[in-house]
Amino acid sequence: MATEKFKEASPYTKPRPRPPREDYIYKHFLYFFEFSLTRAKKNTKTIYHSNATITFALFGVGRAGTIHLTNILHNSRCKLLYVVDDIEANWSNIKKRFRLENVSFLKSKQSEAVFIDHNVQAVIVASPTYTHQEIVTKALAAKKAVFCEKPVAENREDTEKCYEVARLCGKPLFTAFNRRFDPSYSALRERARNGEIGHVHTMNIISRDSPMPTIDYLRISGGIFHDCMVHDIDMMTWILGEYPTAVAVQATANVPEIKAIDDVDTVVATLKFPSGTLGMINLSRNACYGYDMRLEAFGPKGTVRVANEQPNHVETMYGYDGPTTAPIYYSFASRFKSAYIREMNHFLDVVLGKCEMMVQSKETLAVSKIAAACEKSSRTGQMVELCWAAGELPEENLM
């Protein structure tokens, strides 16, 4: 009876609670549930997406390409018309696994059929880096919207050419920096931008890949700075809203096969920003315990961080060994599954004219410039200063 006085009124007598904004999965459920109720009431005036369908051609069905293929097929706003991939031996299995009987499969030398087909509205470029520029420019010239895995081209100059073609053609060229769409990283950015920890004094990013990429992939990847580290550079500049004036990098190849192709597998970088913020990136091509992705921002009011995520949260205890939990996610396909889905939906909204593109050309070009400076620093052993010309940086990201 001692706590009876604390009884509250029935929950049915109170306003129905709303889910917290952090529960993005329930929000996604409500999107479809409330839409179905609205349609059932024959109220055609809704705030939700239209029934418009975007038709796609997919170039490349490797690691990233398979993710995009899956997301296209599971999205009611997408229809796949073409798959362009040069490994013909895989076509039969892909067709059967994904039930693509009505999708045309082509080799890259036959890809002109995609560009002249007016039924294709958008192209996804997930093929090897050295093929990107040609596919991107041809698709844009053919009035297709383009979703391109980074990097857009093999160097900054060619990347600028691609964006100029996009500007002249009036079609979006979206660079896939998928981590921007991860709920945890997005929430951290919001907290930092709201001043919860004050001026950010330091930002530390730990980025360790899993599993080790194949040597065949690494040969054509463009190197660790432009293939891998660009994600971390983009994340740091996107959160901070500023760009470094100097970088200092140490890097080494612990794996002989990687050293043999003139690349490195371990990088430690420091970045100095105009406001006084210091950034640190700890990067590795391989972590034996899973896909290690962590970020911490520290300021005078406290710290905010993104920790590793796990497939489940079951905890066991046997004997005296202490608690045991599930390992962290094994690789990027599982860790960033939600980010890839949200990224694709954002691109669809851009194509349909419902929103502005979240990744602007100046941001991509700035990240490429910083990556090149980091590579130069690692090869020379010297700090490299970065000078930014007037109008070179995106003003909207500096707000």
For residue 398, what pLDDT band results from cuts at 50, 70 and 90? low
- pTM tops 0.75: yes
**Residue-wise pLDDT tens digits, 308-355:** 999 999 999 999 989 999 999 999 999 999 999 999 999 999 999 999
**Residue-wise pLDDT tens digits, 247-287:** 999 999 999 999 999 999 999 999 999 999 999 999 999 99
The yes-or-no answer to whether 54-176 and 180-398 have a common fold is no
Sign of CA pseudo-dihedral 371, 375, 378, 384? negative
Cβ contacts of 72-75, under 8 Å, gap ≥ 24? 72/124, 72/344, 73/98, 75/344, 75/345, 75/348
For residue 46, what pLDDT band results from cuts at 50, 70 and 90? very low
Average of per-residue pLDDT values in the chain: 93
The answer on pLDDT for 42 being more than 60 is: no
Average pLDDT of the residues in 287-296:
98
Domain boundaries, the chain: 54-176, 180-398
**Residue-wise pLDDT tens digits, 139-197:** 999 999 999 999 999 888 999 999 999 999 999 999 999 999 999 999 999 999 999 99
**Residue-wise pLDDT tens digits, 119-131:** 999 999 999 989 9
Alpha helices in 44-143 (DSSP H): 63-73, 91-98, 112-116, 132-141
- DSSP letter at 182 equals -
Average pLDDT of the residues in 366-381:
97
The answer on pLDDT for 36 being more than 70 is: no
**Residue-wise pLDDT tens digits, 55-71:** 999 999 999 999 999 99
Q: What CATH number belongs to 54-176?
A: 3.40.50.720
Residue-by-residue DSSP string for 362-395: HHHHHHHHHHHHHHHHHHH-S-EE----TT-S-G
Q: What CATH number belongs to 180-398?
A: 3.30.360.10
